[in-house]
Amino acid sequence: MSAPIAVIDTGICNLRSVTKALEAVGSRPVVVRTPQELDSAGAEGLVLPGVGALRDCVFSLRSSGLDAAVREWIGLDRPFLGVCLGMQALFDESEEGGVKGLGVFPGRVVRFSLPAPLKVPHMGWNTIRFVQRDSPLQEGLADEGESFYFVHSYHCVPADPEIMLAQCDYGGPFVAAIGVGRVFATQFHPEKSQAKGLSIYRNFAASASAPLMR
């Protein structure tokens, strides 16, 4: 049996959809709510999902002590996947209520400023373009034209554009995913994106199981 993949329950995430997606690709998700549960899970990968308000997501992480656990996990280049708010939480700050993020990556989260008739939130299917070469998260997916499901009013602006893994366009280009080493995050929801979304979870699980190359 494969080693588990831990999924953080912040209380405001679509937990069931994420765990079901991981199970569908043959992974063994384990829900964790504290650093102690994460330590005892024996997980080879960590997923931080989230929907709703970033303030609530970050508050939950800090209240449980999982904020430090996430930073430590990523700092060790252990396999990590952030989804939606789980991506936004990794940056320094957000315009959404002036929230301070975890500061894993320098950068800001900003609200869409769009001309009519485009509406905020950006909601529904949109195509992305992968911009990094040979990312394990892209295995089996085309460089351009893959469609995923988005629901968000804010988007990430990394200080270092080189961490961008995929780009999308909604009234202008924005970062749809990031990738640094074995750390990944997506603004879109793979668990709501049917077969292509399952490919993202399958690729992450495979990446998490692969031996670390130095």
Active site residues: 84, 189, 191
* DSSP 8-state secondary structure symbol assigned to residue 172: S
Contacts of 209-213 with CB under 8 Å at 24 or more apart are 209/2, 209/3, 209/44, 210/136, 212/77, 212/182
DSSP code string of 174-212: EEEEEEETTEEEESSBGGGSHHHHHHHHHHHHHHHHSPP
* Phi, psi (degrees; rounded to nearest 5) at 33: -125, -5
Helix or strand run (H / E) with residue 71:
helix 66-75
